[in-house]
Amino acid sequence: MIPGVLGKIKGKTFLITGGTGSFGSEMLKTLLRLHPKKIIIFSRDEKKQHDMRNMYDSPLLKFVIGDVRDFSSLNRVVEGVDYIFHAAALKQVPTCEFFPMEALKTNVLGAENVINSAIKNGARKVVVLSTDKAVYPINVIGMTKALMEKVVIAESKKTSESKKNKTILCGVRYGNVLYTRGSVIPYFIDQIRQNKTLTVTNKDMTRFLLPLTEAIDLVLYALVKGENGYMYVRKSPACTLETLADAVCSIFNYKKGHVQVGIRAGEKMHETLIGVEELLRAVDTPSYYKIPPESQGLDYNKYFYQGKKSNAGKNIAFTSENTKRLNVKEVTKILLKLPEIKEELMIHKQNKLK
């Protein structure tokens, strides 16, 4: 557990936007163990809220149906909130490619609504969740998340220099979180259930490997340590998709293997968590990178006439291609720790015994 996190959570009120997703569900478990005053789950999904309400049956939970695109529905629940985790987003690459304006409304305008409401109601801190796709974006989700980060940084400048508004705005950025909605491992598992050959876009494509618990730790780190306008990145190993598919096949003793089907529109060969330009100012800690805002205050004219010397040519970006690369044995060890994999293994063994 992150040092100091108990003092930040005990007796405080939290709002989780998009709180019925993978992140919200795991964060909820963590918060409930640390005695908050109240946790508000804000999302559009009535069914998931119903299931979550029945699962926890806790007087500390409040469920609100609403949409971050709608400022008024959001603003009604922010009053009295101490901390906000902003996880609501459209995040699947194909969906955003087909419906770019919907992604813009949710990922950018929705984030702006969260920030404005937080400032208006005096929330202490907002932690937004971003993605590797925001760095050198080539797809709609990356472009909208990059814009979201820019909105956070721009608004943080105003709150930093305001005597009245003290809301801290910061964010976290991470790559592939294992076994979350839309990630490849549940897709592989579904194909195994259907007795199909696993489909891999490109065997040499690399992805960071981050368990959901470590993604939660990153957000808690930002909750405790987060400074205005900063982005925080957890250091993570990576592997190729071929290695990942081989590890899944090994775990389930699956003999049909995998086949390449080609890269989908909007996909990158490698994930980038920190760009070259950001690394010039990033602070390297044992487990995290802290990326301060590229800020020159609120003096608009400085952006035209003042710059900084750098050694950009001597740096490379932090990517899934150049981070620590795991082999099949190492990936298998990580996957076997996931509760979802443990559950699937039990089901798989029971089915074989029938």
**Catalytic (active-site) positions:** 133
DSSP letters along 90-141, please? ---HHHHHH-HHHHHIIIIIHHHHHHHHHHHHT-SEEEEEEEGGGSS--SHH
Task: Determine the length of the chain.
Answer: 354
Three-state DSSP class for residue 216: helix
Residue with the two structure tokens 């500390």 = 60
Report which DSSP code applies to 33: T
Q: 103 near 141, Cβ under 8 Å?
A: yes
DSSP letters along 157-210, please? HHHHT-SS---EEEEEEE-PBTT-TT-HHHHHHHHHHTT--EEES-TT-EEE-B
Q: 123 near 257, Cβ under 8 Å?
A: no
Distances from the Cα of 96 to the Cαs of 70, 91, 120, 141, in angstroms?
A: 20, 7, 30, 6
Q: 279 near 323, Cβ under 8 Å?
A: no
**Which residue type, as a one-letter code, is found at position 102?**
E
Question: What is the distance, to the nearest Å, from the Cα of residue 85 to the centroid of all Cα atoms in its chain?
Answer: 10
Structure tokens at 20: 């019925």
Report which DSSP code applies to 21: S
Structure tokens at 168: 């801290």
| Cα–Cα nearest to 166, from 124, 128, 121, 224 | 124
Distances from the Cα of 200 to the Cαs of 182, 228, 268, 300, in angstroms?
A: 14, 40, 14, 47
